[in-house]
Amino acid sequence: MKKKYKILHIIGGGEIGGAEQHVLSLLKGIDRTRFDPQLACVTSGPFSILAKEHKIPTYTFPMRFPLDLSPIPPLIHWSRKQSIDLFHTHGSRANLLGRLSARWLGIPNLTTVHSSLAHDYLSPWSARLALGLDRLTLPLTSKIITVSEYLAKEVALRGGQTIETIYNGHSSITFDNPSSTRHHFRQQWGIPADALVLGTIGRLHPTKGQIYFIKAAAQLRLKFPNLHLLLIGDGPLRQNLALELQKNAIPHTITGYLPLAYQALPAMDLFVLPSVSEGMGLVLLEAMQAGVPIVASAVGGIPEVIRDGQDGLLFPPRDVTKLTAACISILENDSLAQRLILEGQNRWPMFSIDSMVKETEQVYTRLLDKTISPLY
């Protein structure tokens, strides 16, 4: 009988975004007859709470600041006690702790890169620090997974080797009665039933580009006076974006973080993803399933998911004029909107949870089957 391998996922855990959804999908979907998955967070936050609700063994090794190495000794001690076989790290802080600790323990370390480090931080100094630390510790990584080919090229340029792309997967979501869901959400948030709702879902962070969405909305409202902007998510730009919406007198709703944000999709007439940087754009798969036409920026891994003119319309990032034009093209052409919706619903199953989990398990097996017993 083959050994049952213990896998420890390490992640920040201070928020719930695409990386956290990815990890949760792996933890829930992995073959429990072959693997024993566990989770470690470096921040006490909503993700550790969510994981515990799903009955996933979850532990916290708090980092007080980006270069805090004090969690390494307790992480090493705990991992020895638990006989962990492999670390799977997600994010810069987790990579720093996991790569150094795995090397000390003599066990493999696998890293998944979910986004572009250069765009993940509010300050250029923080971005430079994260990139510098990543370059220093990349040689300690046994294997790198990226969620798009775009990210694979980016990681290779800073010295990454043994890179494999495994696209994010999404489970099937269903809306029993989209019309009722639409009505209920709009009623709950005070959005008029006859409003033309343009929405987006994501962190309120510069990398997500919501400011360009607002600038486009100011132009669109001249043509569509019943326009209403729906921003779902929370983050450091919330107040700034709210002020910009008020300044332009754009009717809007900012919901903050919603645990089941996809349930808001039927309330939208158009989904817009205006990111400046995007690893892949998991939320696009949700919009496809919800039957909402999509406009997205042609950046990062997005063009690997959305084929321009087939599954949605793409525009150059930060280009407000072309973003506005893409929205008008769909809003004024119902046959185009319906064709994009149909293509999207045919395409999203290509990015399945089952494929993502199976391919990741194969990486675990290749790494672990050739590993010499850990130096415990």
The span from the CA of 90 to the CA of 98, in Å, is 9
Given a contact cutoff of 8 angstroms between Cβ atoms, the answer to whether 7 and 30 are in contact is yes
Given a contact cutoff of 8 angstroms between Cβ atoms, the answer to whether 152 and 114 are in contact is no
Q: Left if phi > 0, otherwise alpha if psi is -120 to 50, otherwise beta: which for 90?
A: beta
- Residue-level pLDDT at 342: 97
Residue extents of the structural domains in the chain:
5-169+353-369, 178-350
Low-confidence ranges of the chain (pLDDT < 70): 1-2, 121-122, 371-376
Burial (Cβ within 10 Å: 0-12, 13-18, ≥19) of residue 246: exposed
- For the entire predicted model, the pTM comes to 0.85
- Residue-level pLDDT at 16: 81
68-76: which pairs have CB atoms within 8 A and are 24 or more residues apart?
Answer: 69/96, 69/97, 69/100, 71/42, 71/97, 72/97, 72/100, 72/101, 72/104, 75/40, 75/101, 76/101, 76/104, 76/105
Distance from the first to the final alpha carbon of the chain: 23
- Residue-level pLDDT at 371: 63
Question: H-type helices in the chain, by residue range?
Answer: 18-29, 46-53, 72-82, 92-105, 124-137, 149-157, 178-189, 210-223, 238-247, 283-290, 302-305, 320-331, 334-347, 353-369
Whether 5-169+353-369 and 178-350 share one fold: the answer is yes
The span from the CA of 44 to the CA of 47, in Å, is 8
Given a contact cutoff of 8 angstroms between Cβ atoms, the answer to whether 5 and 86 are in contact is yes
Strand partners, 111: 89, 144
Q: What is the CATH number of domain 5-169+353-369?
A: 3.40.50.2000
45 contact partners, CB below 8 Å, separation of at least 6: 12, 13, 14, 15
CATH 3.40.50.620 is the classification of domain 178-350? no
- Residue-level pLDDT at 373: 46
Q: Left if phi > 0, otherwise alpha if psi is -120 to 50, otherwise beta: which for 202?
A: left
- Residue-level pLDDT at 375: 46
